[in-house]
Amino acid sequence: MQDSTNVRRDEQLALDLMAAIRADAEAACAPNTVEMVSVTFDVSSAATDAADIQFEPRIDRRTRTVLFTGGTARQGDQPVMKATAVYRIISES
């Protein structure tokens, strides 16, 4: 297992993008919870400064039990990383 205190910039960007996507997924599915089924990343280019990154989560499709979602990390108009994720929606009833 990797030491979490020694995370590379691209790895931290992926973690931050997933945090934005998950927060959006949790808000969309509340009061139910979500559990990650799969995630895929596509790195377009290297970010030059982490302070200039904007995260744009989106919901692609939702069924009764599954949420298809994703998002983009942008630096200005340039996408630097994209992610797609599938979450299982767990009913709180």
Whether 2 maps to a domain, the answer reads no
Coil, helix or strand at residue 17:
helix
Whether 21 maps to a domain, the answer reads yes
CA distance 47 to 87: 27
Whether 77 maps to a domain, the answer reads yes
Q: Report the CATH number at residue 20.
A: 3.10.129.10
Question: Who wins on pLDDT, 9 or 27?
Answer: 27
Whether 3 maps to a domain, the answer reads no
Provide the residue range defining the domain that includes 14. Answer: 9-90
- Please check whether residue 87 is in contact with residue 70, taking contact to mean a CB–CB distance below 8 angstroms: no
Tell me how many domains the chain contains: 1
Whether 17 maps to a domain, the answer reads yes
Per-chain mean pLDDT for the chain: 90
Which residue type, as a one-letter code, is found at position 53? I
pLDDT in tens, 43-56: 988 777 666 899 99
Whether 30 maps to a domain, the answer reads yes
| Burial bucket for residue 25 (CB in 10 Å: 0-12, 13-18, 19+) | buried
| Burial bucket for residue 68 (CB in 10 Å: 0-12, 13-18, 19+) | middle
pTM flag (> 0.85): yes
